[in-house]
């Protein structure tokens, strides 16, 4: 069974704060993705990666950085968090095919 874990599951920070969201996959997948989910919108792609050290910009990258340190680990960084970044964040991994396996999500609140 594919496994994608995220931490923390919930995070509250203040405007201007520094936040790191972590994602780990044990599927040996090359591809990893960060999405955000907001009410009234479908999931939107922030950043993604083809492998360790690789980073690609998604559709809504402003205000976010990402790092892929190993095949298993993908991090999303908010260096100056803003209230507009309050959202539910999902990490996903995928192989060479079309299927993506999603983590349980991290709920981030920026006050």
Partner 1 sequence: KTQVEQSPQSLVVRQGENCVLQCNYSVTPDNHLRWFKQDTGKGLVSLTVLVHENDKTSNGRYSATLDKDAKHSTLHITATLLDDTATYICVVGDRGSALGRLHFGAGTQLIVIP
Q: Tell me which residues touch partner 1 (CB under 8 A).
A: 4, 30-31, 40-45, 90, 94-100, 102-105, 107
- CA nearest neighbour of 51 among 35, 74, 26: 74
CB-nearer residue toward partner 1: 62 or 97: 97
Q: Which is nearer to partner 1, 18 or 84 (CB)?
A: 84
Nearest Cα residue to 104 out of 1, 38, 8: 8
CB of 10 or CB of 18, closer to partner 1: 10
Nearer to partner 1, 50 or 79 (CB): 50
CB of 43 to partner 1, least distance (A): 4
> Residue 76 CB, nearest distance to partner 1 (Å)?
16
CB of 64 to partner 1, least distance (A): 18
């Amino acid at each position: 069974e594919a496994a994608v874990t995220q931490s923390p599951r919930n995070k509250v920070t203040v405007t201007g704060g520094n936040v790191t969201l972590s994602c780990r996959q044990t599927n040996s997948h090359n591809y990893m993705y960060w999405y955000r989910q907001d009410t009234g919108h479908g999931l939107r792609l922030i950043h993604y990666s083809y492998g360790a050290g690789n980073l690609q910009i998604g559709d809504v990258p402003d205000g976010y950085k990402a790092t892929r340190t190993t095949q298993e680990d993908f991090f999303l960084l908010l260096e100056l968090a803003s209230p507009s970044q309050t959202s539910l964040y999902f990490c996903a991994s995928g192989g060479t095919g079309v299927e993506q396996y999603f983590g349980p999500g991290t709920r981030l609140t920026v006050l």
